[in-house]
Amino acid sequence: MYIDIHDVSVEYKQDNTSFLALDHINLAIERGEFICLLGPSGCGKTTLLNAIAGFEKVTSGTITIDGTPVTKPDTRYVTIFQNYGLLPWRSVEKNVALPLETKGLSKQEQDERIQHYLELVGLSEYKDRHPHQLSGGQQQRVAIARALAVNPDILFMDEPFAALDAITRMKLQDDTRLLSTKEKKTIIFVTHDIEEAVYLADRIVVLSPNPGRIKSIVDVHMPFERDRTSDDFIHIRDKIFEIFNMKVDHDLEYYI
């Protein structure tokens, strides 16, 4: 067991009312797994991600990564945000350089890594551009290159493709899958898009709101090459629709 989430609750108190964002969550994640946290708004999926990443304090329970309790963000685990979090005053190259500047690497080492990861995401030609000169998809790729540049063990991705158009999103989904196998990263990915979860995940953790609980965990047994139109794919997708009670039942009822 690599990441152990044991009996975790997160409660927000405001004035006299309290809100249970996460209610006694238990989850174990293995090294190298691709986990999708799936659910509607307010189900606590982002809270859970923030808690594992160390941004959010848990009210009760424990989270350990590789045996060490999580108390604050750690550079071995990097988060990618929905609105990219690129620094608009820095060029693409300088954005990727940010995490390297604090690591005491030589200028040459920094440049090599920047070059390598910008090539990986296919943006080396754009290194002198500023973020506002790029499309949303390109910006998120810069953010991915920046995250990978520090060679993290875990990538936390918080609805990273939610603001992108459908075609760009599919392309980046492919890239992310490739990444998880090629770079052997453990990835925890928050989404509210069922197809995205089925396409990406090894396991889908379905959450339900009020209070935030794990409703079901779905294993996705599919080969690396996933086909969005295959029977397997549709079968798993339907299973999740059922979990959300969103499937229209065509019960045959006969009254004679």
Partner 1 sequence: MIKTLKQTRTILISFLILIILWQLAISFGGMNTALFPSPIKVFNAFVGLATKGLSGSTTDAILWIHIKDSLVRFFIGYLLAALLGIGFGLLLGWFPKAFSYVNPIVQLIRPIAPVAWLPFLVLVIGIGNLPAIAIIFIAGFFPILLSTVKAVINVDPVYLKVAKTFGLTQLQTIFKIVLPAAFPQIFHSLHLALGTCWIFLVSGEMVGSQTGLGFLLMDAKNTMRPDALLAVIITIGIIGLILDQAIGLFEKAIRKTWGFGG
Q: Which residues bind partner 1 (CB under 8 A)?
A: 53, 55, 72-75, 77-79, 81, 83, 85, 87-90, 98-99, 101-102, 130-133, 150
Find where tokens 């910006």 sit: 139
Of 53 and 144, which has the nearer Cβ to partner 1?
Answer: 53
* Residues near 119 by beta carbon (within 8 Å), at least 6 away in sequence: none
Question: Residue 12 in contact with residue 18, Cβ under 8 Å?
Answer: yes
Of 68 and 75, which has the nearer Cβ to partner 1?
Answer: 75
Question: Residue 194 in contact with residue 239, Cβ under 8 Å?
Answer: no
CB of 82 to partner 1, least distance (A): 9
CB of 77 to partner 1, least distance (A): 8
- Phi, psi (rounded to 5 degrees) for 197: -65, -45
In 3D, which of 100, 55, 58 has the Cα closest to residue 74?
A: 55
Length of the chain: 256
In 3D, which of 159, 135, 126 has the Cα closest to residue 36?
A: 159
Of 62 and 133, which has the nearer Cβ to partner 1?
Answer: 133
Of 89 and 254, which has the nearer Cβ to partner 1?
Answer: 89
Paired tokens of 53: 């990443």
Of 132 and 221, which has the nearer Cβ to partner 1?
Answer: 132
CB of 73 to partner 1, least distance (A): 5
CB of 198 to partner 1, least distance (A): 27
Q: Cα separation of 237 and 249, whole Å?
A: 16
CB of 194 to partner 1, least distance (A): 26
